[in-house]
Structure 1
Amino acid sequence: IRHGHRKIACIASSHDIEDTDERLQGYQAALKEHSIELPRGYIEYGDPNSDGGELAMTNLLAKSLEITGVVAYNDY
């Protein structure tokens, strides 16, 4: 956001753990704080590993959304 990104997608964990919800809430709070409104389609879920991240990113790209940045659950 600091660098001008406003179309920021989010790759979240598909595992049902508290940490997943907290990270997603943080992403949504940061967008709201900067008056950025995006459809739910900018959020994709995947297993928290390299295969899950690759699949989630592939799914985001397949949507043909205008994306300028991605927040990921982890660095896989």
Structure 2
Amino acid sequence: MARAFNAKVRQREFYPGNLVLRKVLHIALDFRGKFANKYDGPFVVREVFSGEAIILSDMDGTENALPVNADALKKYYP
């Protein structure tokens, strides 16, 4: 059963220079409820570490200090 599931999983790879969207973790309740934004961005991938940790920067070049897990990202296609 695991082999059948894993056959359909596609590996996501991020490289420096890719544009990505970051998932919003709603810690505080938003008045818009289910209509709140699910993703922030776009961001530029600056550095990729092993273990799927990624350093992002804004489009204007300011780098975010904390790494983000690749599970919370998806590719952005303008």
TM class by shorter-chain length? under 0.3
Instruction: Judging by fraction of residues, say which structure has more helix.
Output: 1
User: By percentage of residues, which structure has more strand?
Assistant: 2
How high is the TM-score relative to the length of structure 1?
0.23
The alignment's TM-score, normalised by the length of structure 2, stands at 0.23
